[in-house]
Homo-oligomer: A and B are copies of this chain.
Amino acid sequence: MPDLRVAIVGVTGAVGRQFLTLLEQRGFPLADLVPMASARSAGQTVQLGGREYQIQEAAADAFAAVDLAFFCANTQVSRELAPQAVARGAVVIDKSNAFRMDPAVPLVVPEVNPNDIHQHQGIIASPNCSTIQMVVALEPIRRRAGLKRIVVSTYQAVSGSGLLALQELISQSRAILEGQAVEPVVYPHQIAFNVLPHIDTIGADGYSGEEMKMVRETRKIMGDEHIEIAATTVRVPVLYGHSESIWIETEEKVTASQARQILMEAGVKVLDDPSGNQYPLAINCAGSDDVCVGRIREDLDRPNGLLMWVVADNLRKGAATNAIQIAEYMLAKGLLPA
């Protein structure tokens, strides 16, 4: 395997830190690491594999010697710098929303549509966290039985909003336990001991940006514009790990036990013994790369209806792990420069 010069753009953020951990854990073949962040963090250092690397300011020329760049800063940074990185010869795997719906950019979950990677023109997009875990859980069932409709409600951890949101949940929780008033900063309302049916901007049609990501991205990844998707995305006072309550209607009948079998065979982690109190939990899935599925049960009225509960670590499989898996696939297929 070639040794790559790898950039992480946004290395100081919640997802950036996960990239450092995961590149080391997975033994990713690094010749050099170029950690990048805003000017404010430039000059600080990060560690990987016992070596220290100095953070550079994210800027076009910093990509001159980069083979592969993981972007996990914000959409604005990706929009500006990802094309510059590509122009300098790097392949970009982008976690942001900047290019996901661009028809020229593959949007990839390796368990679902790895072949789309081959069409890339320099940028490959990694989907939204809530989309990734849903399509990993649903694709094996879709392949076997077709998929007509999804109704999904999410229970999303604050780490999806970054490090400041983690601090906000912790400091608000502490204040409330001490009987003090709280002042929301990251979120429009108190998140501690509350749930917010509001992630991303809400449009005139009443749907939030996060909900529309789940709709559009799922259709693009699965390559089927006809799947009906109704999403409600909700922030909950959890630190790490998104949970999703999913109802689907398939083309053909799938029993609950068939669904468990199909998912296990596809490598999805099935944790489904509710009488023994076994089902996926955010606190247990945090720190893991698995997509965990439980509470699988058949609709009581619709022969082709199925319900399930899907949990994954939003910073790992929902972000850094998925991006690294895309890079690993490219390495295995010889799609990255040696």
Question: Interface digits, A308-338 against B, CB 8 Å rule (1 contact, 0 not)?
Answer: 0100000000000000000000000000000
Chain A residues 157-190 with CB under 8 Å of chain B are 169-170, 173-174, 177, 188-190
**Contact A195 B301, CB 8 Å, known A177-B174, A202-B274:** no
8 A Cβ contacts from A222-244 to B: 228-230, 232, 234, 236-239, 243
Q: Assuming A174-B177, A202-B275, A237-B237, is B195 touching A155 (CB within 8 A)?
A: yes
**Is the beta-carbon distance between B177 and A300 smaller than 8 angstroms?**
no
State in angstroms the CA–CA spacing of A188 and B116 once bound together: 43
Evaluate contact between B189 and A277: CB separation under 8 angstroms: yes
Q: A229-B300, A305-B230 are in contact. Are A197 and B277 (CB under 8 A)?
A: no
Complex Cα spacing A203 to B199, Å: 34
| A91 within 8 Å of B (CB atoms) | no
Q: Does A113 contact B (CB under 8 A)?
A: no
State whether the Cβ of A98 lies closer than 8 Å to any Cβ in chain B: no
Q: Please give the residue numbers on chain A whose beta carbons come within 8 Å of chain B beta carbons, in ascending order.
A: 149, 151, 153, 155, 169-170, 173-174, 177, 188-190, 193-198, 202, 204-208, 215, 228-230, 232, 234, 236-239, 243, 245, 247, 256, 274-275, 277, 279-283, 294-302, 305, 307, 309
